[in-house]
Amino acid sequence: MAIVEIRKTIVTVETIRHEGGPVVTPPLRVGTIAAVVKNPFAGRFEPNLLPMMAELKPLGKQLAADLVVALGAEAAAVEAYGKGAIVGADGELEHGALWHEAGGWGMRDVLGGTKAIVPSSKVIGSIGSRLVIPLGHVQAAYVRSHMSSIEVGVHDGPRADEILYALAMSTGGRIHARIGGLTASEVIGDDGLR
């Protein structure tokens, strides 16, 4: 029997044309995709979480591929990413941490082997909880213009015995970014930092 049981998936895409300054062309597209899954460990302590982490890997890759399509972009056009989890009340934060490898490596694979760490957040939450997922540049963590965030959640979850696993991607940095630092055009992309 499969460990990962999906109840539903959710996709959101924002199209941002300006932030009070001039309109940008093409507009920035920022999106999230999430799956609400049954938490097989809800209400009990399980010492070995690794089988579920392994079973989440195909989900991470599928969600990443689906989000690229939802953004209307090619994988090469994705410039920022992040991931997160909301664990229902009968679970523990470690159940959300199972998404680090599955979500992160799923995006890295779909996006062609990105170098930068995938920013992440996770919480224990009730039905309707929202999570702010941090975003960072896909090749270099020090690109300030791409340090941003997006909110994710679903109105009917996660239930106490569920987990919401989410990915986030953006086709660029913040609109009208102007605080200096390393620019995306200056990225070398060897070490995930610069």
| Distance from C-alpha of 115 to C-alpha of 141, rounded to nearest angstrom | 9
Q: Is the pLDDT score of 185 beyond 90? A: no
Q: Does residue 42 fall inside a structural domain?
A: yes
For residue 78, the number of C-alpha atoms closer than 13 Å in the C-beta half-sphere is 33
Q: What pLDDT sits at residue 47?
A: 97
Q: Is the pLDDT score of 120 beyond 70? A: yes
Q: Does residue 169 fall inside a structural domain?
A: yes
Length of the chain (residues):
194
Q: What pLDDT sits at residue 99?
A: 98
| 113: CATH | 3.30.1330.110
Q: What pLDDT sits at residue 114?
A: 95
Q: What pLDDT sits at residue 41?
A: 97
- pLDDT confidence tier of residue 186, bands split at 50, 70 and 90: confident
Beta strand ranges found along 17-79 (DSSP E): 28-38
C-alpha dihedral sign at 10, 34, 4, 106: positive
Q: Does residue 158 fall inside a structural domain?
A: yes
| Distance from C-alpha of 28 to C-alpha of 14, rounded to nearest angstrom | 8
- pLDDT tens, position by position, 138-169: 999 999 999 999 999 999 999 999 999 999 99
| Distance from C-alpha of 181 to C-alpha of 143, rounded to nearest angstrom | 7
- List the one residue out of 177, 185, 180 whose CA is nearest residue 139: 185
Place of tokens 């009340």: 89
Q: Does residue 192 fall inside a structural domain?
A: no
- pLDDT tens, position by position, 50-109: 999 999 999 999 999 999 999 998 888 999 999 999 999 999 999 999 999 999 999 999
Q: What pLDDT sits at residue 65?
A: 97
Residue 143 pairs in a beta bridge with: none
- pLDDT tens, position by position, 26-47: 999 999 999 999 999 999 999 9
Range of the domain at 107: 6-186
Q: How many domains does the chain have?
A: 1
Q: Does residue 194 fall inside a structural domain?
A: no
Q: Does residue 98 fall inside a structural domain?
A: yes
- pLDDT confidence tier of residue 192, bands split at 50, 70 and 90: confident
| Distance from C-alpha of 123 to C-alpha of 118, rounded to nearest angstrom | 17
Contact yes or no for 70/167 (Cβ under 8 A): no
Q: What pLDDT sits at residue 2?
A: 76
Q: What pLDDT sits at residue 190?
A: 83
Residue 27 amino acid letter: P
Q: Does residue 23 fall inside a structural domain?
A: yes
Contact yes or no for 87/160 (Cβ under 8 A): no
Q: Does residue 193 fall inside a structural domain?
A: no
